[in-house]
Amino acid sequence: MATHVPYAFVTDEYWRNVPGWAGVSRDEFGNHRWQDRHGITSIEGLAGVLGSRLSPGLLQDLKHGLTRTPMRIRLTPYLAALIDWSNPIDDPIGRQFLPFGSRFLDNHPFAVDDSLNEDGDRVAPFLVHRYPDRALFLPLTVCPVYCAFCTRSRLVGGSTAIKAKETYGASPEAWEATFAYLRAHPEIEDVVISGGDAAMLRPDAIESIGRTLVEMPHIRRLRYATRGLAAIPMKITSDDAWVRALARVSDAGRRAMKEVCVHTHVNVGAEITEWTVAASQRLIDLGIRVRNQSVLLRGVNDTLDVMHQLIKRLSYVQFQPYLVYLHDMVPGCEHLRTRLSDALGMSKALLGTTAGFNVPRFVCDAPGGGGKREIFSHECYDRELGVSAWSAPGVKPGHLFYYFDPVDLLPESGRRIWREPCERDKRLATFKALARSCQNGHGTVA
């Protein structure tokens, strides 16, 4: 573990190293509109700005990748220019956003599009109600960037060669059914406004959703979820209309003793630069708290040093490290998943290294809809077979949920079992019987 963590955030005009942006001034680069207009949305666009820095081999690899990924390419110049273009395949930002064909693995046999069964807990067209006192509002399916590992790849990020989607933009007329459900359910105290990404909501939508929710007496907490703060911090420093709309909701919330905050998604310390520092300062000045939710990703942030640096840097800019998710079991990103054992080891090693409130909780969002479970709370775990069992007494009492490690990371004896379906099913049946027996004796919360 690194004992000394430098906060040497990128402050130079780093984007000028990208041939197509060599002449871009600091003012232009710092403008969210410029960032939007110059976003990378295709291989051709990437080749256009990189010129000869994108080798023919890499270009071929990306073309191959596009035939396997459920996510389109979408990347802000802010992040694209942070990638080490001499070796983008191993770059922690490159790996998150670009589909390098040579990296893909076969999907896990139990990977499914809607791994968390969000559709099963959908109570209104844009609303998922899984937990007793909180709900998830998905008002749109677009984001400022498209992550190769998106858990909502069935909805977000546009159709690709292998995945057709019905994506939708924000349509305020359509949200009335969602608000009606929330009004009729006083037990819901907490609403996550996600998507897609709240950064793509227009200021009037930010404000009308926020005010509508703050005015419901039983709603005590709102979270706007956006990767924008990480992927285009210029949104906060230069989109005054958007920030003012958010601030008005936050002020209205404060007067009513309600929390209005922002949840963002940073995965490696390199995503945090002086632009993030400036964005954070603006939110701090407005009294808006930020929390961070990361995904544990293979080859991105699955080493202790990288995760520790991330947490220290998040703490520095006051994005409270809240959650680190085990990667969901969705198709097209097996090469980015890790094992439960990796998360257990990392979480254990991080405990005590910094302020307790800045040590993130590592969670497994239980496949099938059990909700987020603290990783140490698994009922049992077979590391050879790569399967863990989870219960969720406060959410779905009596049910068991199973998470599977990526097969390629199992010991050879475990990989052999997965090659033989009969043997695999036998071992799984034994494991599930064991899981049912260790689950006995847990209480439930009414």
Ligand X SMILES: *Cc1c(COP(=O)(O)O)cnc(C)c1O
Min dist. Cβ of residue 247 to ligand X (A): 23
Distances (CA, A) of 354 to 84, 200, 248: 29, 34, 34
Is 93 a binding residue for ligand SF4 by CB under 6 A? The answer is: no
Nearer to ligand X, 135 or 245 (CB): 135
Residue 254 φ/ψ region, left for φ over 0, alpha for ψ in the -120 to 50 degree band, beta for the rest: alpha
Task: Say whether 422 is catalytic.
Answer: no
Q: Which one of 146-154, 174-182, 245-253, 286-294 is the stretch in contact with ligand SF4 (CB under 6 A)?
A: 146-154
Site for ligand SF4 in 263-292 (CB under 6 A): 265
DSSP result, 211-273 = HHHHTSTT--EEEEE-SHHHH-THHHHH-HHHHHHHHHHHHHHHHTT-EEEEEE---SGGG--
Q: How far apart are CA 81 and CA 17, in angstroms?
A: 8
Q: How far apart are CA 324 and CA 304, in angstroms?
A: 13
Candidates 121, 302, 328, 342; catalytic one: 328
Choose among 224, 231, 197, 226: nearest CA to 209: 224
Candidates 143, 261, 333, 364; catalytic one: 143
Task: Say whether 372 is catalytic.
Answer: yes
Residues contacting ligand SF4: total by CB under 6 A? 11
Q: Are the CB atoms for 205 and 139 separated by under 8 Å? A: yes
Q: How far apart are CA 327 and CA 337, in angstroms?
A: 5
Angle at 144 between CA 158 and CA 274, to 5 degrees: 155
Task: Say whether 165 is catalytic.
Answer: no
Is 152 a binding residue for ligand SF4 by CB under 6 A? The answer is: yes
Is 227 a binding residue for ligand SF4 by CB under 6 A? The answer is: yes
Task: Say whether 131 is catalytic.
Answer: yes
Q: Which one of 139-147, 286-294, 392-400, 410-418 is the stretch in contact with ligand SF4 (CB under 6 A)?
A: 139-147
Count of CB atoms situated within 10 Å of the CB of 176? 12
Angle between helices 240-255 and 203-214 (to 10 degrees): 10
Nearer to ligand X, 191 or 407 (CB): 191
Nearer to ligand SF4, 98 or 344 (CB): 98
Among 62, 147, 170, 306, binds ligand SF4 (CB under 6 A): 147
Task: Say whether 26 is catalytic.
Answer: no
Nearer to ligand SF4, 75 or 135 (CB): 75
Site for ligand SF4 in 379-438 (CB under 6 A): none
Helices (H), 103-165: none
Min dist. Cβ of residue 117 to ligand X (A): 10
Nearer to ligand SF4, 328 or 382 (CB): 328
Task: Say whether 438 is catalytic.
Answer: no
Give the residues lining the site for ligand X (CB under 6 A).
Answer: 128, 130-131, 134-136, 192, 372
Choose among 378, 377, 398: nearest CA to 445: 398
* Positions that interact with ligand SF4 (CB under 6 A): 143, 146-147, 150, 152, 156-157, 196-197, 227, 265
